[in-house]
Structure 1
Amino acid sequence: MWRHLGLWLALLASTLSLPVQADETAEDYINYIELKPFVTNFGGPGPVRFLKAEVTIQVEDPDAHHAVNAHMAHIRNDLVFLFSAVQTEDVGSVAAQQVLAEQALKTVQQLLQEETGSTHVADLFFTSFVTQ
């Protein structure tokens, strides 16, 4: 009897640990892609200044996820050029950093539009932003 009870409990425990499968539609799909940190100098002539930004991209379907990963090198290239072209006043306040994030989003969307025919990216976030 104890053997059957132990078997029953083991079976019950294994079914409770199974993930619940939900019907995920395209409208429910949200995924975030973390890019490797960007470190670049900025600010033009004068003392050397550095910017370090950690960027996360939000996509809303698996095709977008694939498109971002397929064009990651091109995305990183364009963002490095964008970040290295900023001036001190372009990153000196939260509002200025938000404008830069919007520019970065538009840069990524434009690149993907040219490469794939769709913008794919819903949003772009700075998860860390440091200047020195």
Structure 2
Amino acid sequence: MAENNAEQAPAKKGKLKLIIMLVIVIILAVALSVVGTLWFLGDGFSGDGDQVDANPEETSFIASSYTDLEKALVTTVQAQGRQRYAQVHLSFEATDPLALAAVDTHMPLIRSKLVMVLGNTDFNEIQTPDGRADLAVQMLVTVNEVLAQEGEPEIKRVLFRNFVVQ
């Protein structure tokens, strides 16, 4: 019987080694998982943080804000000797909320200038997508000129919410 007991003792040591190896493998897998997650999220290593701080302009995102022109711009547009009508609903986009507040403050002057810009356009031009894009650029320049005269920050874009010509 002594011989049987001697053979069973090494079997227990083999199981103990197997359990220890499995625990070590599981701990390594969890550690690698945590390190990998931190690496991909970019929060983990201090060396990566230095690189992000070196270019703050590229990584920072500034959300745009919008304001709508309450009433549509309605004016006549000349088309080959005939009078046509144009009705445009506008929105203004800016990254600086102060610019939108300035637009609201100076709305009567801005509205007057935009009616003049719309009235001076050619009817055939504003019927094409390129003509409408050019009109939006002209309106943006006009609004930013008014804001610059008043010492206010500029807006980013003029957007058409509705555009009707007849």
Q: Identify the TM-score tier after normalising by the shorter chain.
A: 0.7 to 0.9
2: CA distance, partners of 1:113 / 1:46: 36
Q: Show structure 2 runs of 5+ residues with no match.
A: 1-59
1:64: how far off? 1.1
Of the three residues 140, 144, 151, the one matched with 1:105 is 140
For residues 60-101 of structure 1, what are the alpha-carbon distances to aligned partners after superposition, in whole Å with 9 as ceiling and x for unaligned?
Answer: 122112111111111100000111111122212011110111
Of the three residues 105, 108, 127, the one matched with 1:92 is 127
Q: Which has the larger radius of gyration?
A: 2
RMSD: 1.8
1:122: how far off? 0.7
Aligned sequence identity (%): 28
Decide which structure has greater helix share. Answer: 2
Q: Does 1:31 align with 2:65?
A: yes
Runs (4+) of structure 1 exceeding 4 A deviation are none
Q: TM-score, normalised by structure 2?
A: 0.59
Other-structure match for 2:162: 128
2: CA distance, partners of 1:97 / 1:85: 13
Where do residues 3-14 of structure 1 align in structure 2 (5 Å cutoff)?
none
Other-structure match for 1:23: none
Contact kept, 8 Å, 2:74 with 2:85, in 1: the verdict is yes
Q: Show structure 1 runs of 5+ residues with no match.
A: 1-25
Say which structure, 1 or 2, has more relative contact order (CA 8 Å, 6+ apart): 1
Q: TM-score, normalised by structure 1?
A: 0.73
Q: Does 1:52 align with 2:99?
A: no
1: CA distance, partners of 2:150 / 2:114: 16
2: CA distance, partners of 1:92 / 1:30: 29
Other-structure match for 2:117: 82
Q: Does 1:62 align with 2:62?
A: no
Amino acid at match of 1:95: D
**SS state of the match for residue 48, structure 1?**
strand
1:114: how far off? 1.1
Q: How many residues align?
A: 106
